[in-house]
Amino acid sequence: MARMRRSKGVPPEISQASTADIAFLLLIFFISTTVFETEFGLAAVLPGMGGKAVKVKRDNVLTIRAAAGGEIYVDDAVVGLREVRSIIKSGLEENENLVIIIETDAEARYEQMINLLDEVKAAKARKFSFKKRRG
């Protein structure tokens, strides 16, 4: 049997110089591909049960009604969703204490109320309240 001789040469070494580069590549990859789930919402503060009902002068109130059929009424006149924003804006210009009441029919869809709330937010109205209209 041939005599095996263990080589005495230097053992093969794997270069570690590139590990840092690999680490950074990975890091950059994961940083760039991670998507944080973000959530968007229309914020509102509800009146608590303890507080007194706030009395608001009739002149300071703008009621926008979302009817079950999908129509939007401002002061008993039907308006389009696009017009609501400018109505609120001009109302706020005249009277900065204006309170917007979003009145939604009980049978109306939630989306209709959100559409109005979105317009209220778009017009930068700070004071608004929700009201349900019984069918």
Partner 1 sequence: MKFKRSMDSGSQIPTGSMGDIVFLLLIFFMATTIFKLEEGLTVTLPRAEFGVRVPREKVTHVWVDARGDITIDDRYLTLESVEAVLVQKMRENPQLMVGLNLDANLPYDLVDKVLMQLRKANAINVSFTNDVEAI
Tell me the CA distances in angstroms from 41 to 110, 117, 119, 126, 134, one per residue in order.
14, 11, 14, 16, 27
Question: Quick one: 98 or 112, whose CB is closer to partner 1?
Answer: 112
List the one residue from 2, 7, 50, 57 that touches partner 1 (CB under 8 A). 50
How many chain residues touch partner 1 (CB under 8 A)? 46
Part of the chain binding partner 1 (CB under 8 A), chosen from 35-43, 54-62, 73-81, 87-95: 35-43
CB 112 within 8 A of CB 83: no
Pattern of binders to partner 1 over 100-119, x per CB under 8 A? ----xxxxxxxxxxxx-xx-
CB of 59 to partner 1, least distance (A): 27
Residue 54's closest CA among 105, 129, 134?
129
Give the integer Cα–Cα distance in Å for 122 and 88.
Answer: 9
Part of the chain binding partner 1 (CB under 8 A), chosen from 34-42, 53-61, 69-77, 90-98: 34-42
Local structure of 127: helix, strand or coil: coil
* Phi/psi at 133 (5° precision): -105, 120
Which residues in this chain contact partner 1 in the complex, by CB under 8 A? 1, 6, 11-16, 19, 22-23, 26, 30, 37-50, 66, 104-115, 117-118, 121-122, 130, 132
